[in-house]
Amino acid sequence: MIKKLNTKLFSSGAEFLVLSKLLLAGIETYKAYENQEGYDLLSINAKKNLSAKIQVKSKNFKGDSSFYLNKDDKTKSDFYVFAQTNALKRVKGEPVIIPDSEKKSNLYVVDLKTVEKYKKIDKKGTPYLLISNIPKEKYLENWGLIKKFLKL
Domain ranges of the chain: 8-150
Instruction: Indicate whether 29 pLDDT > 80.
Output: yes
CB burial readout 54-77, b (16+ within 10 A) else e: bbbbbbbbeeebebebbeeeeeeb
pLDDT band at 23 (very low <50, low <70, confident <90, very high): very high
pLDDT in tens, 51-108: 999 999 999 888 888 999 987 766 689 999 999 998 888 888 888 888 888 888 999 9
How many of the other CB atoms lie within 10 Å of CB of 87?
A: 24
Domain over 8-150 is classified CATH 3.40.1350.10: yes
Percent of the chain scored above 70 by pLDDT?
Answer: 95
Question: What pLDDT score does 74 carry?
Answer: 67
Q: What is the mean pLDDT of the chain?
A: 91
Mean pLDDT of 23-43: 91
> Terminal CA-to-CA distance of the chain, rounded, Å?
51
The amino acid occupying position 99 is: P
Please give the C-alpha separations between residue 9 and each of 16, 66, 102, in angstroms, as whole numbers.
11, 19, 20
Which range is least confidently modeled, 40-44, 96-100, 137-141? 96-100
